[in-house]
Amino acid sequence: MLLSNSSLNNQQRQEALAELESCEFDVLVIGGGINGVGIALDAASRGLKVALVEAADFASGTSSKSSKLIHGGLRYLEQYDFKLVREALNERELMVSTLSPHLVKPVSFLYPLQEKLKERTYVGAGMALYDALRGFKRALPWHKHLTQKKISEIAPSLRLDVVTGGYQYFDAQVDDARHTMTIARTAAKYGAVITTRIRCEELIKNGKAVVGAKVKDLENDEIIEVRAKTTIMAAGVWTDPLHEKFGLKGGYGVRMSKGAHIVVPGDAIKSQTGVILKTDVSVLFIIPWGDKWIVGTTDTDYDQSREEPLATAEDVTYIINQANRVLEPKLRRDQVIGVFAGLRPLVSTDPDSPTTKLSREHVVDSPAKGFVSIAGGKYTTYRVMAEDAVNEAINHLRRLVPDSETETLAIIGAEGYSVLMNQIPRLANSFGVSEKTVEHLLNRYGSLIDEVLAPAADNKELLKPISKDLDYIAAEIVYAATHEGARSVDDVLSRRTRIAFEAKDQGLGVAEKVADLIAPYLAWKKTQKNASIKEYEQRVERQNQILIAAKGTKSKVS
C-alpha cells in the first residue's frame, strides 16, 4: 500500500494549499478537534479523497481542555444512559489495547463511601453494572471493594472521619491534544489533506446543494475555493453561529457547558490512585497527571465568548471546596499552579434544562444536500461519531463506499509500542539518554521515537531538557514544528506539550527558547518570532489574572 507522509510542517502545508485549490474532494471537513480529525481518518480509510481545514490549531478548543479521561461515564448510569456507557466502554478498551496504547493508559480511581450500608449497596451495584456493560473480554481490571484500613494505606490524604470504605475501579486517561493531533497525522498518512490556520468563510452552492467552501488562509489572507462533493462540519461550540453564517437551519441547537480544572503539585495530595467524588450537581475527579494532579470539573451554563473560555475565581473555589470535603490536609489556593477551562458542546432542545442533565449523545444532521453537521457526544466516542458522520455523508455521494476501517486501524506510533517498552535499557544506550527519558518519549510518540531523536545524532544539545523541572527535551520542541504541525509558541507550549499548565510559571521561562528552536523550521523572521512569544505571554497573562484573583479572593474555602 502506498502511504503518504504523516509529517505536518511548512512544506506539507504549502503542498496542501495547492491541493485545496486544484482538486475536487469527496469530503471536506470543517474543524480540527477530535471529531473533525476522526472524520478525516474514517473517510480516508474508506478510500475517499478528504481535506480538513481548521481555523486555529488542532484541538485548540474543547479537545485540549477535557478532563483527559477515556471513560464510560460512571455517572451516566444514574441517567439510565446504558447505550452511551456501553459504547464508551467498548471504545475505551479499543484505545487501551489496540488503537492508541502509547497514548491511552489505564488509571485507577477510588470511589470513597461515607456510610456503610445503603451507599455501599447502591454504589456496588453501579460498579458491577459498569463492569458488566463492557463484557468479559477486557483490558482493564474489574472493580473491587476496599476497607477503610486499605484506603488509609493507598490514599493517606482521604479523611477517615468521613470515608468509611470505598470501591476501586479502572478507566483510562490521555493527553487529549496530543491524541487529537496524532489522529490528524494518521489521516494524513492515509492521504487526507490536512491544514490549520484555514478558516471557512462561506459555502459554495449550486442551487440549494453545497458543493464546497471558500476558505481563507489566515497566514496570508488568501481566499481559496475548495470543491467538494460533501462537506462535514464538526465545529463543536461554533456549530450554531456557523449554521447561521452559512444560511442553514440546523435540526438541533448546541448548549455550551463550561468545564474548569485546576492543577496542583504531586505532594499536595498523598494517594496512589485517582479519586472520584459525587457532588450535588455532578462529579469531581482528582486525577493523577505525571508528578501532578488535575482536579475538576465544573459543569455550568456558559454564554460568553467562545474564543478563550477562562476558569474564574469562583470555579477554582468550587473545585477546592468539593475536593476538601474528603481531603486532609486541605488543598490551598496558593498550591494551584495551573488552571484551564473548556466548553462542552451539548445538544439541547430544552433551553431551561441544566447542563448536567443534558445527554452526552451525539446528533448527525443534514440541513442541505451535500452538507452534514455533527455535535454532542463524548471525547471517548469520537470514533463512533466519525463513522456515523461519514455514513451520512456517503448518502450524498450516491455511490458504493467501503465500510469504516477505524475499529482496527491503529494510529501512528502504536505499532510495536509494547515491544519497545520491553527494550527501554537498549534504547537508552542506543540514543544516549536516560531510561526515564526513553519511557517519557515512548509514552508520547510510541514507535516514532527514532524520528523524534534523529536530529540529535548531529546535535546533542537536542537531548537536553527544555527546563530542569520538566521531562520534555529540546528534540521534542523541534519535532513539534517539523512533524506535528505546530505553527506558534502557543501551539508548542499549550498543546504539543502541556507546559502551559504543568510549569509553575506557565512556560514563560522557556517561551523564548522554544521560539528559537522552532523559528528556523517555520522560516520566521525576527519580528515573527517575537510576535509569537508576545502572543503567548499575553495569553498567559489573561489566565494568570484569574489565578491571582482566585488566590486572593475573599470567598470562603471550606
Q: What is the CATH number of the domain that holds 196?
A: 3.50.50.60
Q: Which tops the pLDDT comparison, 137 or 271?
A: 271
Which cell numbers hold the place of 114? 461515607
Q: Are residues 514 and 443 in the same domain?
A: yes
Do residue 189 and residue 281 come from a single domain?
A: no
The fraction of the chain above a pLDDT of 70, given in percent, is 94
On whether both 214 and 161 belong to a single domain, the answer is no
- The predicted pLDDT at position 1 comes to 41
5 falls within a domain: no
Written as one letter, the residue type at 378 is: K
Q: Residue 348 — very low, low, confident or very high, per pLDDT cuts 50/70/90?
A: confident
Distance CA 476, CA 514 (A): 10
What is the spatial distance between Cα 286 and Cα 297, in angstroms, rounded to a whole number?
9
Could you tell me whether strands 253-265 and 69-70 are parallel, antiparallel, or unpaired per DSSP bridges? unpaired
Average pLDDT estimate for 141-163: 93
3-state SS of the chain: helix, strand, coil percent to 5? 45, 25, 30
Residues 54 and 93 in one domain: no
Integer Cα distance of 536 and 499 in angstroms: 12
Give yes or no for residue 493 having a pLDDT over 90. yes
> 247 and 259 share a domain?
no
Helix (H, G, I), strand (E, B) or coil at 296: strand
Predicted pLDDT of residue 469:
87
User: 13-28: buried (b, 16+ CB within 10 Å) or exposed (e) per residue?
Assistant: beebbeebeeeebbbb
How far apart are alpha carbons 146 and 58 in whole angstroms? 41
Cell (9 digits) for 56: 486555529
Q: Are residues 152 and 265 in the same domain?
A: yes
> What whole-number distance in Å separates Cα of residue 103 and Cα of residue 176?
9
- Region of residue 390 (left: phi > 0; alpha: psi -120 to 50; beta: else): alpha
Query: Which pTM value belongs to this model?
Result: 0.94
- Tell me which DSSP letter residue 473 carries: B
Exposed / middle / buried, residue 114 (Cβ in 10 Å: 0-12, 13-18, 19+): middle
79 band by pLDDT with thresholds 50, 70 and 90: low
**Is residue 556 situated within a structural domain?**
no
pLDDT at 359 over 80: no
Question: Residue 128: its pLDDT value, please?
Answer: 84
**Please, what sign has the CA dihedral across residues 492, 493, 498, 499?**
positive
Cβ atoms of 290 and 523 within 8 Å: the answer is no
- The answer for residues whose C-beta is within 8 angstroms of residue 153's C-beta and 6 or more apart is none
For residues 181 and 59, the answer to whether their CB atoms sit within 8 Å is yes
The CATH code of the domain that includes 447 is 1.10.8.870
pLDDT reported for residue 115: 76
C-alpha cell recorded at residue 164: 468509611
Q: Is the pLDDT of residue 141 over 90?
A: no
At residue 305, the 3 state secondary structure works out as coil
E strands along 69-179, which residues?
69-70, 104-113, 144-147, 165-174
Over range 213-231, report the average pLDDT. 98
Structure confidence at residue 358 (pLDDT): 43
CA proximity to 387, closest of 35, 69, 114: 35
Residue 345 within a domain = yes
List Cα–Cα distances, 406 to 33, 192, 409, in angstroms.
17, 14, 5
Please check whether residues 456 and 501 belong to one and the same domain.
yes
Q: At what angle do helices 313-324 and 526-552 cross, to 10 degrees?
A: 50
Is residue 1 in a domain? no
Provide φ and ψ at 290, rounded to 5°.
Answer: 60, -125
Residue 287: closest CA among 71, 132, 140, 540: 71
Q: What is the mean pLDDT of residues 292-318?
A: 91
In the beta sheet, which residues pair with residue 126? none
Assigned C-alpha cell, 522: 517555520
- The pLDDT confidence band at residue 353, using thresholds 50, 70 and 90, is very low
Instruction: Tally the domains of the chain.
Output: 3
pLDDT at 329 over 60: yes
Under the banding of pLDDT at 50, 70 and 90, the label for residue 415 is very high
Q: Average pLDDT of 284-299?
A: 95
Q: Where are the alpha helices (DSSP H) in 5-117?
A: 10-22, 34-45, 82-94
Average pLDDT in the 5-33 region? 97
> 137 with 220, same domain?
no
Report, as an integer, the average pLDDT of 491-502: 97
Which range, of 62-71, 241-250, 468-477, 542-551, averages the lowest pLDDT? Answer: 542-551
Q: Cα separation of 113 and 154, whole Å?
A: 15
Read off the CATH number of the domain in which 138 is found: 3.30.9.10
Side chain identity, residue 530: N
Instruction: Give 511-523 pLDDT, tens digit per residue.
Output: 999 999 999 999 9
Of 186-190, 359-363, 482-486, 503-507, where does mean pLDDT reach its minimum?
A: 359-363
pLDDT at position 321, please? 96
Identify whether residues 328 and 389 lie together within a single domain.
no
Q: Residue 526 belongs to what domain range?
A: 417-551
For 247, half-sphere exposure in the C-beta direction (CA atoms, 13 angstrom radius) is 8
Q: Is residue 2 part of a domain?
A: no
Q: Is residue 558 part of a domain?
A: no
> For residue range 169-193, what is the model confidence (pLDDT) as tens digits?
999 999 999 999 999 999 999 999 9
Q: Which of 369, 150, 174 is nearest to 271 (CA)?
A: 150
Distance of CA 87 to the CA centre of its chain: 19
Mean pLDDT over 7-11 rounds to 97
Is 536 in the same domain as 400? Answer: no
pLDDT at 222: 97
Sequence-distant (≥ 6) Cβ neighbours of residue 268 within 8 angstroms:
293, 331, 335
The residue type found at 151 is: I
pLDDT of residue 544: 83
Report the pLDDT averaged over residues 224-239. 97
In this model, does residue 22 exceed pLDDT 70? yes
Across the range 73-92, mean pLDDT stands at: 80
Q: What Rg do the C-alpha atoms of the chain give, in angstroms? A: 23
User: Which residue in this structure is represented by grid cell 504549502?
Assistant: 14
Q: Is residue 477 part of a domain?
A: yes
293 and 153 share a domain? yes
Contact 45, 383 (CB under 8 A): no
Residues 139 and 265 in one domain: yes
Tell me, what DSSP letter sits at residue 97?
Answer: I
Of the three residues 341, 357, 373, the one that is the final residue of a domain is 357
pLDDT in the model for residue 80: 64
Q: Is residue 521 part of a domain?
A: yes
